[in-house]
Structure 1
Amino acid sequence: RRNRSHTRITQIKMSATCTFSQIATTRATARRTAASPAKKSAVSVRPTPRSRVIVSADAAEEPGSSAKGMGKALPMAMDIGAIMNLLPHRYPFLLVDRVVEIQQGSYAIGVKNVTINDNFFPGHFPQRPIMPGVLMVEAMAQVGGLIMLEPGEEGQGGTQKEFFFAGIDGVKFRRPVVPGDTLVMKVVLTKLNKRFGIAKMKGQCFVGDELACEAELTLALGA
């Protein structure tokens, strides 16, 4: 009887061990099955070189992109050399030292550093040097000309076309500009007649946050 009891206990233990083993095997299989689709999915969406290019192109064309709808893009900044490649103006009448932002056919932001060495200060005025208002308007027009002119191929300069005032409206001078000021000209193209080469623009000059001058400009490209 004692041997029979011992045999029965051994059988129960073996049965329990088998059951536990089956449960462990079943759980492991379930884990592998559950993990397999996720792993496959992760592999399937891994970007290839081609998909990276497509994604990059799509991102560049998303609404709100800074270049979208802004026309043909020039470099986002232009030094004096690049400016002189486009503008025909020269000393003492080149009134744009650099361009901090530009989109050809849309808008531009230029800078003129006003110094006591500017050639108009000895006569305007000897005792109180003030930049002539008409030169602020001219500086805005030169920035506007950069918007109109087409850039040349790299290393070949620009078109160097002449452009002229065809009209000035709503001019207002808000504050004097004196030596030591940095004049920032912001010009936006509002209308363009490509057939006749006529452009209308809105220009503003700032010193810091203060508006110094504003005007509506009409420019015409030379033949």
Structure 2
Amino acid sequence: MPVVRADAAPAAEAAPAALSIEKTGPNFKALRDINQIMQTLPHRYPFLLVDRVVEWEKEKYAVGYKCVTINDNFFPGHFPERPIMPGVLQVEAMAQLAGLVMLDPEDTAAKGLFFFGGIEGCRFRKPVVPGDVLMMRADVTKYNKRFGIVKVAAKGYVGDELVVEAELTLAMAKQ
């Protein structure tokens, strides 16, 4: 019986020397793992929506992801017959990643917290469903240090398809 893969063409056959699919998955090396993320962000279950950061440059950009599973607590109600990750939580995940762009866990002198200040130009292109990996990128487009206001261009992808995008505003909390 031939082996059938989801990404294989019906008539295509794998070369005998090819690497088996279970050894080819995109398990990205963590620049920040979940423990380091929890040291930086105040969010906790069920609201921590960034699993891993794979690229980061302070006050410039970050790339991270959320593994979406049927065990996420919002799926029983959104929607029982067709589980879809709520758009507002996709935006929240991108905002959390944007907060990680601005916060350096190694810089003990600069402890801060950024709050969500606004959303502009938000577009949802495709549903995000259990089994998807929501890969996100947050790029700082404007940073006013004096007032602690940050504008971030955020995008979310599943595979190579853009599923969500927005311009986010973050505001630094006064200490």
Tell me if both proteins adopt one fold, taking TM over 0.5 as the criterion. Answer: yes
- TM-score with structure 2 setting the length: 0.79
How well do the aligned residues superpose, as a CA RMSD in angstroms?
Answer: 1.6
1:124-172 C-alpha deviation (Å, 9 max, x unpaired) = 001110000010100000000011113335xxx7966332121110000
| Dislocated runs of 4+, deviation >4 Å | 157-160
Structure 2 contact 36–105 (Cα < 8 Å) conserved:
no
Secondary structure of the structure 2 residue equivalent to 1:121: coil
- TM-score with structure 1 setting the length: 0.62
Match status 1:177 vs 2:124:
no
The share of aligned pairs that are identical, in percent, is 63
Structure 2 contact 118–168 (Cα < 8 Å) conserved:
yes
Query: Aligned equivalents of 2:37 and 2:121: distance in 1?
Result: 27
Q: Which has the higher contact order (CA 8 A, sep 6+)?
A: 2
Structure 1 contact 103–147 (Cα < 8 Å) conserved:
yes
Specify every segment of 5 or more residues in structure 1 that has no aligned partner in the other structure, as ranges. Answer: 1-75
* Count of residues in Structure 1 that have an aligned counterpart in Structure 2: 145
Match status 1:139 vs 2:93:
yes
More helix by share: 1
Instruction: Tell me the residue number matched to 1:209.
Output: 160
More strand by share: 2
Match status 1:77 vs 2:31:
yes
Match status 1:122 vs 2:73:
no
2:116 is aligned, of 161, 165, 171, to: 165
Residues 88 and 170 of structure 1, relative CA distance in 2, 3 Å threshold: same
Residue identity in the other structure for 1:111 = Y
Structure 1 contact 144–187 (Cα < 8 Å) conserved:
yes
1:57-83 C-alpha deviation (Å, 9 max, x unpaired) = xxxxxxxxxxxxxxxxxxx71111111
Matches within 5 A, 1:1-223: 77-152=31-106, 161-223=112-174
Residue identity in the other structure for 2:136 = M
Residues 159 and 82 of structure 1, relative CA distance in 2, 3 Å threshold: farther
Query: Aligned equivalents of 1:183 and 1:158: distance in 2?
Result: 32
Query: Aligned equivalents of 2:37 and 2:72: distance in 1?
Result: 19
Specify every segment of 5 or more residues in structure 2 that has no aligned partner in the other structure, as ranges. Answer: 1-29
Which is greater in Rg?
Answer: 1
